[in-house]
Amino acid sequence: MQTKRMTFSHNWLPYLLLAPQIIITVIFFIWPASQALYQSVLRQDAFGFRTEFVWFQNFQRLFEDDLYLNSMQVTLVFSVGTTLLSMSVALLFAVMVNKMIRSRDTYTTFLVWPYAVAPAIAGVLWWFIFNPSIGILPYMLDMVGINWNHRRNSDQAMLLVIIAAAWKQISYNFLFFLAGLQSVPNSLIEAAAIDGAKRFKRFWTIVFPLLSPITFFLLVVNIVYAMFDTFGVIHATTEGGPSQATNILVYKVYRDGFVGMNLGSSAAQSVILMSIVIVLTVIQFRYIERRVNY
Amino acid sequence: MVENNRWGNILAHTLLILGVALVVFPIYVAIIASTHTGGTFMRGTIPLLPGTEAINNYRTALLQGRSSAGTPPISLMLWNSFVMAMAITIGKLAISLLSAFAIVYFRFPFRIFFFWVIFVTLMLPVEVRIVPTFQVVADLGMLNSFAGLSIPLIASATATFLFRQFFMTVPEEMLEAARVDGAGPFKFFKDILMPLSITNIAALFVIMFIYGWNQYLWPLLITTDPKYYTIVMGIQRMLTGGDSEPLWHLVMATVVMAALPPILVILFMQRLFVKGLTETEK
């Protein structure tokens, strides 16, 4: 890794400068993570009197546990749904806003602020709108013959949390897509237009392929967001229900650890989640390296 | 040339306006709901036009909150959120500036090792190590304190990377000139590096403030004393605390007040926000 050609030389100063960050990282990141690794191979009895070394039994139990497998499936549906919904809406917005000249900044202003809304608050807002007894949307859905009740219907509960999570993320995707669209050279589009390519053909054969690096990057970022940053959406609204239908992995770690007090299992779940984050981070960074080389 | 279709333009505008309306809708409903009396919500659907109780509702929320359910007044929660967000933001910026400075402007043993230790924080978000981190904070006696709310969150790999990248683009001649004039590391950092990085610091400040303000899981875990509730987590307490239906008019007034500060930050500093967002992700 490079430094400057010319540097300061000092025996202890660089260590002192690094100290605050390193100390915090070790105490609050590396130590707890190693604790999770350690606890994941132990089992405690209900009162914490006895601990027993059980090798990979906690993991084995998890993969035999229907609730955990269900939670994995729920997480998959939730993150794919959130990512697709939010990215496609954002791309649509970005393509249309990019065509505007005078009104571009105005539209952008209206579309960026949901980024500032906390996931928990996004959840509460949509929870309120979809409230079965007083909400507006159930009232309207009722008129077309759909009976909305996310407290009983699992699919509707899932749809609710997906909409809330995706809504908040539209701004982020929109900004990146817009930046990507602005870097597509106009000459390419004009050339295609001269050759007689119509609007849709131009988009699918020229613009969209040029956006593919950004699309891939956003795909990873959105999956990370949906898997790990949406705890608030679930906790403030459905709390994993009805009957486990929205119990995503991150929420389950919390529930099993703090409410269920099953430390061994919770630690094993933490370890599984960590490996997922590590894989996603590596993918993200490999992609960035590739982009730099281009 | 690319055709310029008048009807296409009108269609695009219409779609965009509808889309924007859909995006704004949830917060509009919240604002409207916060201007009605509690009784309105017993009688059927949410109204779509403003009511008359705005001042009363906000006053009650700010000064009393939902005291029967054990949540403190919103003004206290707003203050707590502000302190936490500022502590996280300033802490993150300070320690990342220092460590990026060390990594770029010094050569010393184990430099790369330290860089990797910082990098690892990217891979360990709070959400995946909830229980053990809670135990560490509890053992250190930091539950129910501002230190516990902020310090564990201020290690930041992204800010360190961004500053490192920026420092690498600072011309070599800057340091050479400074050294010729006899400036030591502290003087160089304070008088040359800091003024040069001020836009980057401001852009990151916006992103980090929003990050800090919106923390949810962490305050939920380590505050049991209502004195330290932050507003974003306090809303959940208002929804579930007590035994009746939520008092929607007060909840929505709280939601509006919780969402407003970061939204204002984005709207007033849009340019810095976009810069911060697109650069931290590179």
Query: pLDDT (tens digit, 9 = 90+) per residue, B111-159?
Result: 889 988 888 888 888 877 888 888 888 888 888 888 888 998 888 788 8
Q: Is residue B15 part of a domain?
A: no
Query: Given a cut of 70, is residue A98 above it in pLDDT?
Result: yes
Name the domain count of chain A: 2
Residue of B96, B127, B188 with shortest CB distance to A250: B127
Name the domain count of chain B: 1
3-state secondary structure of B106: strand
* Average pLDDT over every residue of A228-256: 87
Give the residue, B87 or A152, on which the prediction is more confident. B87
Average predicted confidence (pLDDT) for chain A: 85
Nearest Cα of chain B lies from the Cα of A7 at a distance, in angstroms, of 5
Domain that holds residue B236: 34-280
The per-residue pLDDT for A9 is 80
Asked whether the beta carbons of residue A236 and residue B3 sit closer than 8 angstroms, the reply is no
Residue of A24, A29, A134 with shortest CB distance to B124: A29
A137 in the same domain as A40: no
Please check whether residue A86 is in contact with residue A166, taking contact to mean a CB–CB distance below 8 angstroms. yes
A195 in the same domain as A112: yes
Please check whether residue A135 is in contact with residue B46, taking contact to mean a CB–CB distance below 8 angstroms. yes
Average predicted confidence (pLDDT) for chain B: 84
Q: What letter would DSSP give residue A52? A: E
A71 in the same domain as A30: no
State the Cα torsion A135-A140-A143-A145 to the nearest 10°. -80
Q: How does pLDDT run across A11-63, given as a tens digit for each residue? A: 889 899 999 999 999 998 889 888 888 888 877 666 666 677 777 778 888 88
Cβ of residue A2 closer than 8 Å to a chain B Cβ: yes
| Tally of CA atoms within 13 A in the half-sphere of A283 that contains its CB | 15
Domain that holds residue A105: 66-293
A148 in the same domain as A102: yes
Q: How does pLDDT run across B246-264, given as a tens digit for each residue? A: 778 888 888 999 999 999 9
Q: How does pLDDT run across B57-114, given as a tens digit for each residue? A: 888 777 776 666 667 888 888 999 999 999 999 999 999 999 999 999 988 888 889 9
- HEC profile of B133-198: HHHHHHHCCCCCCHHHHHHHHCCCHHHHHHHHHHHHHCCHHHHHHHHHCCCCHHHHHHHHHHHHCH
- Chain B residues with CB-CB distance to A5 below 8 A: 172
The per-residue pLDDT for B69 is 62
Q: Is residue B260 part of a domain?
A: yes
- Chain B residues with CB-CB distance to A93 below 8 A: 16, 19
Mutant choice from B7, B23, B103, B179 vs A, greatest count of A C-beta within 10 A: B23
The per-residue pLDDT for A21 is 92
Asked if ipTM goes beyond 0.95, one says: no
Residue B132's domain is classified under what CATH number? 1.10.3720.10
Q: What does the alpha-carbon distance between residue B99 and residue B114 come to, in Å, rounded to a whole number? A: 9
Asked whether the beta carbons of residue A13 and residue B185 sit closer than 8 angstroms, the reply is yes
Tokens of A32: 């707890």
Query: Given a cut of 70, is residue A117 above it in pLDDT?
Result: yes
Query: Given a cut of 50, is residue B282 above it in pLDDT?
Result: no
Query: Given a cut of 80, is residue A131 above it in pLDDT?
Result: yes
- pLDDT tier, B244 (very low <50, low <70, confident <90, very high otherwise): low
Please check whether residue A97 is in contact with residue B250, taking contact to mean a CB–CB distance below 8 angstroms. no
* CA A250 to each of CA A73, A160, A271, A276, A286: distance values in angstroms, whole numbers, following the listed order: 13, 18, 12, 12, 25
